[in-house]
Amino acid sequence: MATVAVTDASFQADVVDADKPVLVDFWADWCGPCKMIAPSLEEISEELSDKVTIAKMDIMENPDVPGKLGVQGIPYLALYKNGEIAATLTGARPKSALKEWLESEL
């Protein structure tokens, strides 16, 4: 399963009410580090599809949710479990570090 796009309108259904953990990547088109980690997140999404959904939210097109969460720097990764933020990570990391972090939080 590839990453899924979420919006302010779909956030509640796609993330908060999801039946398994969801890692939300808050990003923007102008963000170089966001573009650097995108391929890694796609691969991790395929590798861990049975354990977690990886979602992407463009903060420029969807300002409400990031604003409510107080997202300051991107890429900002928020892992939701049972409708709540369980862990966060800000900044780009190599794929191995991203996957290790995510697996340790699942």
Domain ranges of the chain: 4-105
What CATH number has the domain spanning 4-105? 3.40.30.10
Secondary structure class of 53 (helix, strand, coil): strand
Exactly one of 15, 23, 34, 89 is catalytic; name it. Answer: 34
Exactly one of 31, 37, 48, 102 is catalytic; name it. Answer: 31
Give CA–CA dist 34/76, Å, rounded.
9
pLDDT value, residue 62: 98
Phi and psi of 47, rounded to 5°? -70, -30
- For residue 7, pLDDT over 70 is answered with yes
Residue 31: active-site member:
yes
Residue 77: active-site member:
no
**Which residues have C-beta within 8 Å of that of residue 96, sequence separation ≥ 6?**
none
Strands (DSSP E) contained in the chain are: 4-5, 22-27, 53-58, 76-81, 84-90
In this prediction, residue 1 has a pLDDT band, given cuts at 50, 70 and 90, of: low
Task: Give the global pTM.
Answer: 0.96
